[in-house]
Amino acid sequence: MPHIYIKMSPFSLSILRYASSLPTSFTVPTATRTCCLHRRVFTGSHTCSKKTFPIYSFQQRRGVSTALNEHIQELSAPEQRLLNKLYEGLIGGQRASLAESITLVETQHPRKKELAQVLLQRVLAYRREQESQNGGKPVAFRVGLSGPPGAGKSSFIEVVGKMLTGRGHKVSVLAVDPSSCTTGGSLMGDKTRMTELSRDMNAFIRPSPTSGTLGGVTRTTNEAIVLCEGAGYDVVLVETVGVGQSEFAVADMVDMFVLLIPPAGGDELQGIKRGIIERADLVVVTKSDGDLVVPARRIQAEYTSALKLLRRQSKSWNPKVVRASSHTGEGIPEVWAKMESYRDAMLSSGELQGRRRAQHKVWMWSLIQENVLCHFQNHPGVREALPHLEERVTRGAVSPGLAADLLLKAFSSS
């Protein structure tokens, strides 16, 4: 059934994207197998057992490992050269190579997508090596920053970023823009607002990709984080507006999640979801300067008591509420000091490493969900039956449960 093989190729590749970071005792045969294949491409090591794909059998045609092996051997000489050039440039810390590599992971082009995965596997292997040299601890610190539109996120990142590069850090800033998924437009004009940081040679700013679903944008952000770390950026800041689901997606890809809140009236704060306050490791009340100091203090007190009522997320850290002003710089070093103490506490308790491991699983499942749903919606049988069934469900002529069963049956019958 060649058509299934073709359909499964990107699917299996997506699932296996992160496979090589799994422990060697991991027992999903496909994951282990592709991991081996990818490693073999770059290191020439490892032989793999040839098992069949656990769900879909390709025995009639050939095993998946052979198919993927072919896929990798198909890399042409120019493709090999491109990947080598990108990899060497990237780990050498060249910004142009990093930018080009991120463009590659953002691409919709099927072949380039495959090349991106090969590059990513290699960067992951390099990063794992660095981590093991660092006593198994992550070498970079990932911080997610979210808050309502206009909360002062970009201004805060600009000031903190400048301070950090001044202290010898290499800082990268990535944006997850929920508006890019629906309108193709940009809700956050980030690059323009970080004028100084964007000129800093030790900073790398990457605005959000301008198209795709939230799933797609978050996938590429996860991958861009890996690439930034490979390029030697030891602080990765991810900005997102507190609209839609993007802030939850960001909370699932960082070591520390920071909520920025402006000293505004009650109505504006209504929009902040309770669920996201629960995820915050730190709340920063922004714009604490001039006339805004008094409301900023009030908001700080309100959030401090609100946080006390929430369930603790971590054994080694209690979420805190601090005030800062990006305009005067007041409170900025203190905010970073809090972030560092969070990182130190979480690293020494091992919680940070545990969180990253759990995030790998979340990441894997979100890829699976995205891919499976895509396959489902594009399945000829489903596409044929869907309009009719949807119409009947809307009319109440068929129960949603029955319609779902029928569609799933259509999907699995061929």
**Which residues are near Mg ion by CB under 5 A?**
153-154, 188, 190
Shortest Å distance, C-beta 168 to ligand GTP = 25
Shortest Å distance, C-beta 149 to ligand GTP = 4
Residue 363 DSSP class: H
C-alpha–C-alpha distance, residues 206 and 174, integer Å: 5
- Please identify which residue in the block is written with the tokens 């999640």: 257
Shortest Å distance, C-beta 176 to Mg ion = 11
- In the list Mg ion, ligand GTP, none, the entry touching 93 (Cβ below 5 to 8 angstroms by class) is none
Cβ burial of 326 (10 Å; 0-12, 13-18, 19+) is buried
C-alpha–C-alpha distance, residues 218 and 385, integer Å: 31
Give whichever of 243 and 385 is closer to ligand GTP, judged by the CB atom. 243
The single residue among 286, 300, 366, 371 that binds ligand GTP, judged by CB under 6 A, is 286
289 binds ligand GTP (CB under 6 A): yes
Beta bridge partners of 241: 147
Question: Count of residues binding ligand GTP (CB under 6 A)?
Answer: 18
C-alpha–C-alpha distance, residues 23 and 274, integer Å: 36
Residue list 206-245, contact with ligand GTP (CB under 6 A):
241
325 binds ligand GTP (CB under 6 A): yes
C-alpha–C-alpha distance, residues 108 and 227, integer Å: 18
- Please identify which residue in the block is written with the tokens 């930034």: 228
The count of other CB atoms within 10 Å of the CB of residue 298 is: 12
Give whichever of 185 and 396 is closer to Mg ion, judged by the CB atom. 185
Residue 208 DSSP class: P
- The window from 31-39, 65-73, 321-329, 331-339 that contacts ligand GTP (CB under 6 A) reads 321-329
Shortest Å distance, C-beta 92 to Mg ion = 30
Q: Which two tokens stand for residue 65?
A: 């490992």
255 binds ligand GTP (CB under 6 A): no
Give whichever of 114 and 158 is closer to Mg ion, judged by the CB atom. 158
The single residue among 117, 155, 222, 366 that binds ligand GTP, judged by CB under 6 A, is 155
- The window from 65-73, 199-207, 284-292, 353-361 that contacts ligand GTP (CB under 6 A) reads 284-292
Contact 411, 381 (CB under 8 A): yes
Strands of 242-372, DSSP E: 256-261, 282-285, 320-323
C-alpha–C-alpha distance, residues 110 and 78, integer Å: 17
- In the list Mg ion, ligand GTP, none, the entry touching 220 (Cβ below 5 to 8 angstroms by class) is none
Shortest Å distance, C-beta 149 to Mg ion = 8
Shortest Å distance, C-beta 43 to ligand GTP = 42
300 binds ligand GTP (CB under 6 A): no
392 binds ligand GTP (CB under 6 A): no
Helix axis angle, 351-378 to 214-230, nearest 10°: 140
- In the list ligand GTP, Mg ion, none, the entry touching 97 (Cβ below 5 to 8 angstroms by class) is none
Shortest Å distance, C-beta 263 to Mg ion = 17
Beta bridge partners of 239: 145, 175
The single residue among 16, 68, 115, 188 that binds ligand GTP, judged by CB under 6 A, is 188
- The window from 27-35, 134-142, 145-153, 215-223 that contacts ligand GTP (CB under 6 A) reads 145-153
Q: Which two tokens stand for residue 147?
A: 């808050």
Residue 21 DSSP class: G
Residue nearest to Mg ion (CB): 154
Give whichever of 32 and 325 is closer to ligand GTP, judged by the CB atom. 325
Q: Which two tokens stand for residue 127?
A: 């990063």
Task: Give residue 388's identity as a one-letter amino acid code.
Answer: H
Report helix, strand or coil for 203. strand
193 binds ligand GTP (CB under 6 A): yes
Helix axis angle, 29-43 to 110-133, nearest 10°: 80
151 binds ligand GTP (CB under 6 A): yes
C-alpha–C-alpha distance, residues 138 and 234, integer Å: 9
21 binds ligand GTP (CB under 6 A): no
149 binds ligand GTP (CB under 6 A): yes
Q: How many helices (H) and strands (E) does the chain have?
A: 19, 7
C-alpha–C-alpha distance, residues 232 and 289, integer Å: 35
The single residue among 144, 152, 207, 209 that binds ligand GTP, judged by CB under 6 A, is 152
The binding site for ligand GTP (CB under 6 A) comprises 147, 149-155, 188, 193, 241, 286-287, 289, 292, 325-327
